[in-house]
Amino acid sequence: MDDGSAARKDSEHRRAHRPSFIVIGAMKSGTTSLYYYLQAHPEIFMPAIKELDFFTAEMNWKRGWRWYERQFTLAGSDIKAVGEASTTYTKYPQYAGVAQRIAEHLPDARLIYIIRDPIDRIRSQYQHHVAIGIERAPFEEAVLENPYYVDFSRYACQIEQYLEHFPREQLLIVTSEDLRRERVATLGKVYDFVGVDEGVAHTVPAEEHFTTEGRLAYPAVVASTRRALRRVWPGSVGVAKFIPGPVKQLLGKSMVSQSSGLAMTGAVRKRLEDALREDVTRLRNYMPPGFDGWGIA
């Protein structure tokens, strides 16, 4: 084989292992469950690292395209769909320009957006931030004063970033409520959307990774880990990006004292509903008939 043929073959191999679909979020909405369901399908390849965050400029964009492609080189010849899942892809306006970057590099990619009750998602995000040590404020203060809590639950706003660059038929929206209650039917829809055998949905065992609420704690380990982290990063701001994934998962399971005061007052719920109502109304344009709007709009 001459050098030109080898180069062409290498180029074709790399193209074949570019993602054909991306789970774009939303954070704390069941993306981990969906990642495992996709990974379980024999015709789908998902990288070992769930959150590649490549198309997010503030995260891994600087690593370059070759780094990104290397995450998919283990996909075999029998694989029909290659994907990844990164929740920073729907964290606009905190992370801007993501949809445009994906469209420029993967214009044919199919996009999956899993969403949940937006107020429940806010609560779960707060609990997660408390657990990993990047949130110290009381629930009411945190979610009403830090805009990203509500921003990440403005699903229509996130969707519209993508519809500026992708046709509507390349975007599938599912809810974590449907994935939990009607798992087989919802997975079948997802599998069909990415171009693999939807019948496998009947054989995939259930995975539950939806929320951090109600998990058991590991108080001694978690307490000592938190103390060590606080000695290194006293302010705790930005700590999360330095915490290894397994440690983050462990910390995320500890919700004992720091999240025990999460009873939401009616006044706080109303303010969140008011902040989200216009977005949920727009979201109806992208959802099937019968969508209940979670009682918000």
* Spans of all domains in the chain: 3-116+152-209
Categorize the per-residue pLDDT at 215 as very low, low, confident or very high, splitting at 50, 70 and 90: very low
Two structure tokens written together for 64:
């370059």
Instruction: Measure the CA–CA gap between 122 and 152, rounded to whole angstroms.
Output: 8
> Does the structure show a pLDDT above 70 at 127?
yes
DSSP 8-class letter at 115: E
From the list 295, 275, 282, the residue with the least C-alpha distance to 156 is 282
In this prediction, residues 111-117 reach a mean pLDDT of 99
Alpha-helical segments (H) within 86-117: 98-105
Instruction: Measure the CA–CA gap between 238 and 27, rounded to whole angstroms.
Output: 17
Instruction: Measure the CA–CA gap between 223 and 257, rounded to whole angstroms.
Output: 11
C-alpha torsion 63→69→72→76, nearest 10: -160
Categorize the per-residue pLDDT at 242 as very low, low, confident or very high, splitting at 50, 70 and 90: low
More confident residue, 219 or 147: 147
How much is the pLDDT for 263? 79
Categorize the per-residue pLDDT at 17 as very low, low, confident or very high, splitting at 50, 70 and 90: confident
CB neighbours of 56 closer than 8 A, spacing ≥ 6? 86, 88, 89, 91, 95, 98
> Does the structure show a pLDDT above 50 at 112?
yes
Q: Which residues pair with 82 in a beta bridge?
A: 45
Instruction: Measure the CA–CA gap between 258 and 241, rounded to whole angstroms.
Output: 21
> Does the structure show a pLDDT above 50 at 260?
no
3-state secondary structure of 174: strand
Instruction: Measure the CA–CA gap between 274 and 207, rounded to whole angstroms.
Output: 33
Instruction: Output the CA angle 71-72-75, nearest 5 degrees.
Output: 145
Percent of residues, the chain, with pLDDT higher than 70: 76
Q: Is the Cβ–Cβ distance between 65 and 52 less than 8 Å?
A: no
From the list 190, 49, 55, the residue with the least C-alpha distance to 110 is 190
Average pLDDT, the chain: 85
Per-residue model confidence as pLDDT tens digits over 42-87: 999 999 999 999 999 999 999 999 999 999 999 999 999 999 999 9
Categorize the per-residue pLDDT at 206 as very low, low, confident or very high, splitting at 50, 70 and 90: confident
Instruction: Measure the CA–CA gap between 228 and 237, rounded to whole angstroms.
Output: 15
Instruction: Measure the CA–CA gap between 244 and 134, rounded to whole angstroms.
Output: 14
| Residue 236, phi-psi category: left (phi > 0), alpha (psi -120 to 50), beta (remainder) | left
Largest CA distance in the chain: 72
Q: Is the Cβ–Cβ distance between 57 and 95 less than 8 Å?
A: yes
How much is the pLDDT for 204? 86
Report the CATH architecture of 3-116+152-209. 3-Layer(aba) Sandwich (3.40)
- Distances from the Cα of 188 to the Cαs of 42, 134, 252, in angstroms? 14, 37, 30
Residue owning tokens 């931030």: 129
